[in-house]
Amino acid sequence: MSDKKRLFLVDAYALIFRGYYAFIKNPRINSKGEDTSAIMGFMNSLLDVIKRERPDHLAVCFDKGGSADRVEIFEAYKANRDETPEGIKTAIPHICNILEAMHIPIMVKEGYEADDVIGTLAKKAEKEGYTTFMVTPDKDFAQLVSENIFMYRPVFGGGYETWGIPEVLKKFEVTDPLQVIDFLGMMGDASDNIPGLPGVGEKTAKKFLAQFGSMEGLLANTDQLKGKMKEKVEANGELGLLSKKLATIMLDVPVEFNAKDFEMSEPDVPKVTEIFQELEFRRLIDNFTKTFAVQQTTPGEVTNKASEVTKTKETPKEVKSAGAGQFSLFGAEPSSAEVSTENTLERKTIENTSHFYQSVAPGIATKLFVKNLMHQTSVCFDTETTGLNPLTAELVGIAFSWEVGKGFYLPFSEKKEEAQELIEQLRPFFESETIEKVGQNLKYDIKVLAKYNIEVKGPLFDTMLAHYLINPDMRHNMDVLAETYLNYTPVSIETLIGKKGKNQLSMRHVSLEKQTEYAVEDADITLQLKKLFQNELGEANTQTLFDDIEIPLLRVLAAMELEGINLDEKFLNSLSEQLNTDISNLEKSIYEAAGEEFNIASPKQLGDILFDKMKLVDKPKKTKTGQYATGEEILSYLAKDHEIIQQILDYRGLSKLKSTYVDALPNQVESSTKRVHTDYMQTVAATGRLSSNNPNLQNIPIRTERGRQVRKAFVPRNEDYILLAADYSQIELRIIAALSKEETMISAFKNGEDIHASTASKVFNVPIAEVTREQRSNAKTVNFGIIYGVSAFGLSNQTNLSRSESKELIDTYYETYPKLRKFMSEQVDFARDNGYVQTVLGRRRYLKDINSRNAVVRGAAERNAVNAPIQGSAADIIKIAMINIYKKLQANNYKTKMLLQVHDELVFDVYKPELDAIKDLVKTEMEHAYKLEVPLDVEIDTGLNWLEAH
């Protein structure tokens, strides 16, 4: 297969548009003021394809009229965009010139779209034994895919994916690539100006295709539809057929495929270089010369390499065995040019895998089971409950497994006493200090069992946490892990209890056999995953991080979540009423100014009123979905000119406050405890931070006076208690100072200086006492910006400084703190060499895009390389503090409880008699959680509510 001739047909406009918009936020402007984004984007793609694939035959296809001097843009592109951007119009002649100089054939046919030209050529080439790759991101082309015709599709973030027949069938849920035409005809495609059937989107189109097979099939059988949908389809039959026609790529364009005309030949290097120089493409010249130099000097080697690449793509099975092996955690995956391997190897399921899953009857059988259980050294268990809220969920059963493929299930009675009786029999197991308990998301099981007064003791192994450390960027739910690492698809909970929402059953109502299968399978799989992950953890410091941080923290978080926090609902209700009056007053004056009533909260309606009706701006900005942009930034800019804008901003602020916090929080009070129990997610933030949800207590307002009031609603449990908040002061800056060993900054911290004032004093060269508010504020912005990877552009947006002043400030900043800059570039270098960066405790973050050829993507990865160790180290440190504080609170039998964590802050419900001791304990543990060359400083405050405690 690999010695077949390969033809690459490039869809020029699609790639030009793509290239242009890739740079839209940061357009390439050369010294002559030309916007060269589109040329740059297109050439990068083209060279990338040539470098990767070394095609022997290649052509670039344009819509009608592709010569250098007279180019028209096909209507379809105009239709749904305001106007072809200037930057694209001007790019076309340049691109044609470059292609000519590169001796790459340009294909155009008057009156035909590039799609049609490519389609016709691909089919003709196929007859002559060629394998064709259509280089385009446009999914319409999927209809042309055959055994010898592939889509070669650039993917976001660099790299390509190849779509052959299996990928297309899977992607569009069809049985023949030709049905893609019907699919697009039904669904419509805004970017290609295909109207589609009204009311039909992706889901409905797939449903119809599965049911009727084609547009014609649908239209002939509308009697099988009902309601509104029936009316709509029947009324729009013609539109449907037209849409299908529009979506069809024509295969009868009068062009010939003469292989010779498509052969790659040597480019006119001096000419191309000259054009690039004129356009001021320095890096592209390098790229270009390298690309072609290799091809000329070692053709043999390259050809081999190229055919290998193709081979793996065309025979996905080999990817499976050679590439990311199913049992290796990180195959050195060719993240680009990857082919989906679904469908190729049949997934294992409970149906085709031998297993021994058994339920255990009450009485003597259970006694024998427990006896056996107590002899094990490591057991995986999984609780099944009536719901997802551990505070209200009842145990339905518990599954156990300690041998792969084998396990037991203990059903629990609905009757409270009987359930408690059974759990008591299991108490020795759960409270055993020696038997290791394995589970997936043990925090949940621990919380459930805590409600039965069972404390899970002894060593723990949580597969979800293990995988979080092994690959924090992935998702960690069991189904994904089973499919990724065991090639096994577990019984889905939905097949047992139905889709969530309407009439979802409880686990209680599932037959015992099904319960057993489902539950034991989970335990079995978790055990298998544990065996895999156990070995992977051994690498690096990950094991320590697992044993000493994440696992102990799991118990701490379970305790905090069970504890909850007291909420003053009355206070929130009165706040809500105050907001109501203010909001309706604003509403009135906005309607008055607008001359009509509308939904101010709807960005669409608001945009129409502001820009269509009131015409406040000449050329309003639009969002990518075609609406007028009404974001904070844009409105703030207009606020000074129109009174209504400020009112809208105020309205937005207040309604946001009311709906998100003031009205939402009381609904989150758990009725059984009368308290708010957030859920800390230990495995979602790629940097190692926690996240909080249901409700999110990590984003309670503080910046504005009005918003801050919400914090008054968080109160101690009763009058014997007081809230205490402990904040790390500038922990991220201290970390970057320590890690970079930047003495100037370190000594500022050591001397207890105000770091932002200190920075201002140094970069503005004034005595620290004479630093102005503005100087300090700007210095503060840079200090924070450094942590996120500043650009002059970003800085000038956030300050009153111009772009050049910002650049100057950043330069001076780096001169003041030279080692900071060195540290930052070392992080990037480390990431380039190793593919990851790490925190002080060795928590890794993998940055696959660090070597991306796409500057935007690569830039983001580079900022991550700097930010992740900082943010992550701070997360590590507060986690240590939490574990140590929790231990001490327990050891001393304090009544004081730790309630909340907000990234650099801990909140406690302090029993008043313990206050002095707790203040001391918390401060000490937090400040000494981890030894850095910079002292850590913790500020502590107490109060009758969370606002006062700040």
- Scan residues 690-749 and list those touching DNA (CB under 7 A): 691-696, 698-704, 707
Q: Does 502 bind DNA (CB under 7 A)?
A: yes
| Residue with the two structure tokens 């025979």 | 315
| Residue with the two structure tokens 């926090």 | 565
For DNA, which stretch binds (CB under 7 A), given 76-84, 94-102, 623-631, 909-917? 623-631
Question: At closest approach, how far in Å is the CB of 532 from DNA?
Answer: 24
| Residue with the two structure tokens 């297309």 | 168
481-500 positions binding DNA, by CB under 7 A: 499-500
Question: At closest approach, how far in Å is the CB of 663 from DNA?
Answer: 7
For DNA, which stretch binds (CB under 7 A), given 82-90, 427-435, 610-618, 678-686? 678-686
On whether the CB atoms of residues 876 and 549 are closer than 8 A, the answer is yes
Question: At closest approach, how far in Å is the CB of 56 from DNA?
Answer: 39
Q: Does 652 bind DNA (CB under 7 A)?
A: yes
756-785 positions binding DNA, by CB under 7 A: 781-782, 784-785
On whether the CB atoms of residues 442 and 390 are closer than 8 A, the answer is no
Kindly tell me which residue out of 97, 273, 777, 791 binds DNA, with binding defined by CB under 7 A: 791
Kindly tell me which residue out of 128, 424, 597, 632 binds DNA, with binding defined by CB under 7 A: 632
Kindly tell me which residue out of 202, 308, 720, 939 binds DNA, with binding defined by CB under 7 A: 202
Q: Does 580 bind DNA (CB under 7 A)?
A: no
25-84 positions binding DNA, by CB under 7 A: 25
Q: Whole-angstrom Cα distance, residue 579 to residue 658?
A: 7
* Closer to DNA by Cβ: residue 197 or 395: 197
The sign of the dihedral angle between the CA atoms of 451, 455, 460, 465 is positive
Total of residues contacting DNA (CB under 7 A): 79
Q: Does 226 bind DNA (CB under 7 A)?
A: no
Q: Whole-angstrom Cα distance, residue 45 to residue 158?
A: 9
On whether the CB atoms of residues 284 and 44 are closer than 8 A, the answer is yes
Q: Does 336 bind DNA (CB under 7 A)?
A: no
Kindly tell me which residue out of 584, 602, 729, 834 binds DNA, with binding defined by CB under 7 A: 602
Instruction: Provide the terminal-to-terminal Cα distance of the chain, rounded to the nearest Å.
Output: 70
- Give the x/- contact pattern for DNA in 854-883, rule: CB under 7 A: ------x--xx--xx--x------------
Tokens encoding 577? 């009423």
Q: Whole-angstrom Cα distance, residue 912 to residue 721?
A: 5
Kindly tell me which residue out of 2, 90, 386, 660 binds DNA, with binding defined by CB under 7 A: 660
517-576 positions binding DNA, by CB under 7 A: none
Letter for the amino acid at 837?
V
Q: Whole-angstrom Cα distance, residue 186 to residue 215?
A: 7
Instruction: Give the three-state DSSP class for 30.
Output: coil
Letter for the amino acid at 674?
K
* Closer to DNA by Cβ: residue 145 or 644: 644
Question: At closest approach, how far in Å is the CB of 871 from DNA?
Answer: 6
Q: Whole-angstrom Cα distance, residue 134 to residue 117?
A: 11
* Closer to DNA by Cβ: residue 164 or 785: 785
Kindly tell me which residue out of 631, 641, 674, 851 binds DNA, with binding defined by CB under 7 A: 631
336, with CB counted inside 10 A (0-12, 13-18, 19+), is middle
CA geometry: angle 490, 493, 499, nearest 5 deg: 135
* Closer to DNA by Cβ: residue 764 or 788: 788
Displacement of CA 138 from its chain's centroid (Å): 23
* Closer to DNA by Cβ: residue 207 or 367: 207
161-200 positions binding DNA, by CB under 7 A: 199-200
Q: Whole-angstrom Cα distance, residue 449 to residue 383?
A: 9
Q: Whole-angstrom Cα distance, residue 522 to residue 438?
A: 11
Kindly tell me which residue out of 249, 610, 902, 922 binds DNA, with binding defined by CB under 7 A: 902
* Closer to DNA by Cβ: residue 65 or 835: 835
Q: Whole-angstrom Cα distance, residue 867 to residue 732?
A: 10
Question: At closest approach, how far in Å is the CB of 46 from DNA?
Answer: 27
Displacement of CA 460 from its chain's centroid (Å): 29
Q: Does 794 bind DNA (CB under 7 A)?
A: yes
Kindly tell me which residue out of 511, 625, 671, 800 binds DNA, with binding defined by CB under 7 A: 625
Q: Whole-angstrom Cα distance, residue 23 to residue 35?
A: 10
On whether the CB atoms of residues 681 and 692 are closer than 8 A, the answer is yes
Q: Does 501 bind DNA (CB under 7 A)?
A: yes
List all residues 6 or more positions away from 284 whose beta carbon is below 8 Å from its beta carbon.
40, 43, 44, 47, 276
Kindly tell me which residue out of 157, 237, 459, 603 binds DNA, with binding defined by CB under 7 A: 603
On whether the CB atoms of residues 691 and 680 are closer than 8 A, the answer is yes
List all residues 6 or more positions away from 621 whose beta carbon is below 8 Å from its beta carbon.
628, 629, 634
* Closer to DNA by Cβ: residue 399 or 926: 926
For DNA, which stretch binds (CB under 7 A), given 161-169, 559-567, 658-666, 753-761? 658-666
CA geometry: angle 774, 779, 785, nearest 5 deg: 130
* Closer to DNA by Cβ: residue 284 or 850: 850
904-943 positions binding DNA, by CB under 7 A: 904-905
Question: At closest approach, how far in Å is the CB of 850 from DNA?
Answer: 13
* Closer to DNA by Cβ: residue 274 or 473: 473
β-pairing, 897-901 vs 844-846, is: unpaired
* Closer to DNA by Cβ: residue 423 or 713: 713
For DNA, which stretch binds (CB under 7 A), given 104-112, 295-303, 575-583, 619-627? 619-627
Question: At closest approach, how far in Å is the CB of 429 from DNA?
Answer: 33
Kindly tell me which residue out of 211, 298, 535, 605 binds DNA, with binding defined by CB under 7 A: 605
Q: Does 659 bind DNA (CB under 7 A)?
A: yes
Q: Does 345 bind DNA (CB under 7 A)?
A: no
* Closer to DNA by Cβ: residue 428 or 631: 631
On whether the CB atoms of residues 329 and 485 are closer than 8 A, the answer is yes
* Closer to DNA by Cβ: residue 100 or 904: 904
* Closer to DNA by Cβ: residue 86 or 473: 473
**Cβ count near 235 (within 10 Å):** 12
795-814 positions binding DNA, by CB under 7 A: 795, 797-798
Instruction: Give the three-state DSSP class for 117.
Output: helix
* Closer to DNA by Cβ: residue 237 or 859: 859
| Residue with the two structure tokens 């690959």 | 471
For DNA, which stretch binds (CB under 7 A), given 158-166, 204-212, 333-341, 823-831? 204-212
Question: At closest approach, how far in Å is the CB of 298 from DNA?
Answer: 38
Q: Whole-angstrom Cα distance, residue 869 to residue 384?
A: 38
What separation in angstroms does the CA of 756 have from each of 414, 705, 766, 808, 809?
A: 61, 23, 13, 18, 14
Q: Does 629 bind DNA (CB under 7 A)?
A: yes
Task: Kindly give the residue spans of alpha helices, DSSP state H, lying in 298-399.
Answer: 299-314, 316-322, 364-373
